[in-house]
């Protein structure tokens, strides 16, 4: 069975249709890249998958491991194994990063009917993962993302992903704000979490990221849908030719 199946997904924001029939299948073990021009709806797709308020699904279906994602709440989607990383992670003053991570992990375990991790178990796992990611343990005592550099935020997000062990991770790295340090950290995190069971979708405007994360499959997104699918060479072709041809095709 495929891991993620998106069929003819349509969605609107403030009564404006943005997604116009997205079809996408991700199998376990695959890393997909979605590339496309600004404003084509890539982030909207990520938000719709996450179940964010304000995004209205008007047609189509999404299943994760056979579970109808669109009929369940955002926290249930996370418990079902969906993880979304956005480029501008939230700052949470007053909540230590360590506490935040533990709460996120235990919330998921509870939803799945698994027992909470004991404090020593949790500390052991966080320390291991933090070490893998070269995260200074002192950072984990600071409030979530407050005053973190771009690279530190990214590391923190990858740590969260490593702890939650999602079935499907979606990373939206679209905009230009991602510095080279953060980009490499994101890539390392993704590469480390590649596994035969896990699927990943990396959304990006830039070919550059795909020099560090080599995708199995590349999709071109234009005007609210996937208009072309190919292998990793498609990313190079896009770098050379740009998106103009696809935009004209999609408009026709
Ligand atoms: P991309 O990520 O490909 O750059 P987006 O999904 O961010 O594209 O945006 C697609 C279109 O949807 C844009 O025209 C954008 O203005 C619009 N849009 C997205 N989110 C919102 C929102 N919350 N409110 C109003 N318009 C939005
Ligand atoms: Mg954009
Ligand atoms: Mg975007």
Give pLDDT tens digits for 124-140. Answer: 999 999 988 888 889 99
Percent of the chain with pLDDT over 70: 96
For ligand 1, atom 16: residue with the closest CA: 39
Q: Distance from the CA of 112 to the center of ligand 1, in angstroms? A: 33
Radius of gyration of the chain from its Cα atoms, rounded to whole angstroms: 18
Cα dist from 38 to 41, 43, 175, whole Å: 8, 9, 8
| Confidence (pLDDT) at 27 | 98
Task: Identify the CATH number of the domain defined by range 4-251.
Answer: 3.40.50.300
Q: Which residues surround ligand 3, an ion (CB under 5 A)?
A: 42-43, 174
Q: At what angle do helices 150-164 and 119-132 cross, to 10 degrees?
A: 130
Distance, in Å, from the CA atom of 61 to the CA atom of 70, rounded to the nearest integer, reads 7
Measured from the Cα of 175, ligand 1's closest atom is 4
Kindly report the protein residue whose alpha carbon is nearest to atom 26 of ligand 1.
13
Report which bound ligand comes closest to the CA of 37. Answer: 1
Q: In whole angstroms, what is the distance from residue 229 CA to residue 232 CA?
A: 10
Mean residue pLDDT of the chain comes to 89
The ligand placed nearest to the CA atom of residue 54 is 1
Q: How far is CA 195 from CA 28, 108, 114, in A?
A: 8, 21, 23
CA distances to 61, 119, 130, 135, 141 from 98, in Å: 36, 11, 11, 12, 6
The whole-number average pLDDT for the span 49-57 is 95
- What percent of the chain is predicted at pLDDT more than 90? 57
Q: What CA–CA distance (Å, rounded) separates 61 from 68?
A: 7
pLDDT in tens, 66-98: 999 999 999 899 989 999 987 667 788 889 999
Query: Separation of 64 CA from ligand 2 center, angstroms?
Result: 25
CA–CA distances in Å: residue 77 to residues 38, 88, 169, 246: 27, 20, 12, 32
CA distance 42 to 199: 18
Which residue is closest in CA terms to ligand 1's atom 7?
43
Tokens of 200: 């990943």
DSSP assignment of 117-168 equals PPHHHHHHHHHHHHHHTT--GGGGGSEETTT--HHHHHHHHHHHHHHH--SE
Q: How confident is the model at residue 18 (pLDDT cuts 50, 70, 90)?
A: very high
Name the residue with tokens 């996408």: 24
Domain ranges of the chain: 4-251
pTM to 2 decimals?
0.91
pLDDT score, position 29: 97
Q: Mean per-residue pLDDT for 155-161?
A: 88
The binding-site residues of ligand 1, defined as CB within 6 angstroms of any ligand atom, are: 13-14, 18, 36, 38-44, 54, 174
Atom number in ligand 1 closest to CA 40: 3
The CA 88 to ligand 2 mean position distance, Å, reads 12
């Amino acid at each position: 069975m495929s891991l993620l199946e998106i069929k003819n997904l349509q969605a609107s924001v403030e009564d404006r249709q943005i997604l116009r029939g997205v079809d996408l299948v991700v199998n376990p073990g695959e890393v997909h890249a979605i590339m496309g021009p600004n404003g084509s709806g890539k982030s909207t797709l990520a938000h719709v998958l996450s179940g964010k308020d304000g995004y209205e699904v008007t047609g189509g279906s999404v299943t994760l491991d056979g579970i109808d994602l669109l009929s369940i709440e955002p926290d249930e989607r996370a418990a079902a194994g969906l993880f979304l990383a956005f480029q501008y992670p939230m700052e949470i003053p007053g909540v230590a990063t360590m506490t935040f991570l533990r709460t996120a992990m235990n919330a998921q375990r509870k939803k799945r009917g698994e027992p909470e991790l004991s404090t020593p178990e949790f500390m052991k796992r966080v320390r291991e993962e933090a070490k893998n990611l070269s995260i200074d343990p002192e950072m984990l005592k600071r409030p979530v993302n407050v005053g973190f550099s771009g690279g530190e935020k990214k590391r923190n997000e990858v740590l969260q992903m490593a702890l939650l062990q999602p079935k499907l991770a979606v990373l939206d790295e679209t905009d230009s704000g991602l510095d080279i340090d953060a980009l490499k950290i994101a890539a390392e995190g993704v590469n480390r979490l590649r596994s035969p069971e896990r699927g990943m979708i990396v959304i990006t405007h830039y070919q550059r990221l795909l020099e560090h994360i080599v995708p199995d499959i590349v999709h071109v997104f234009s005007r609210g849908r996937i208009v072309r699918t190919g292998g990793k060479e498609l990313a190079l072709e896009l770098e050379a030719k740009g998106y103009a041809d696809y935009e004209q095709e999609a408009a026709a």
